[in-house]
Amino acid sequence: MSKILVTGASGHLGRMTLQHLLGRRPATELVGLARDPGKAADLAAHGVEIRAGDYVDHDSLTRAFAGVEKVLLVPAPAFTDRSTQHATVIAAAEEAGVEHIVYPPIIRKAGSEFALPQVTEPDTATIKVLEASGLRSTILGHPPYIESVQGYIGDNAFESGVRVPAGDGKVAPASRADLAEAQAVVLTEPGHEGRTYALHGAPAVSFSDVAEILSEIRGTTVHHVPLSDEEYLDQLVAGGLPGAAAEFVLSWVHAVNRGEWDDQPGHLERLLGRKPTTIAEFLRDHPATAR
Q: Return the pLDDT at 259.
A: 95
Q: Return the pLDDT at 288.
A: 59
Q: Return the pLDDT at 186.
A: 98
Q: Return the pLDDT at 150.
A: 79
- Interior CA angle at 265 toward 263 and 270, to 5°? 140
Grouping H, G, I as helix, E, B as strand and the rest as coil, residue 97 is: coil
Superfamily of domain 147-171+202-262+273-290: UDP-galactose 4-epimerase, domain 1 (3.90.25.10)
Q: What are phi and psi of 50, to 5 degrees?
A: -105, 120
Query: From CA 242, how far away is CA 220, in angstroms rounded?
Result: 33
What does pTM read for this prediction?
A: 0.95
* CATH 3.90.25.10 residue spans of the chain: 147-171+202-262+273-290
* CATH 3.40.50.720 residue spans of the chain: 3-141
Mean pLDDT per segment of 10 residues, for the chain of length 291 residues? 92 97 98 97 97 98 98 94 97 98 95 88 96 96 92 87 95 97 98 97 96 95 96 94 94 96 96 97 76 45
Query: From CA 99, how far away is CA 208, in angstroms rounded?
Result: 45
Q: What CA–CA distances, in Å, run from 154 to 60, 145, 174?
A: 40, 15, 19
Q: Which fold has domain 3-141?
A: Rossmann fold (3.40.50)
Grouping H, G, I as helix, E, B as strand and the rest as coil, residue 161 is: coil
Query: From CA 163, how far away is CA 194, in angstroms rounded?
Result: 41
Query: From CA 138, how far away is CA 130, in angstroms rounded?
Result: 9
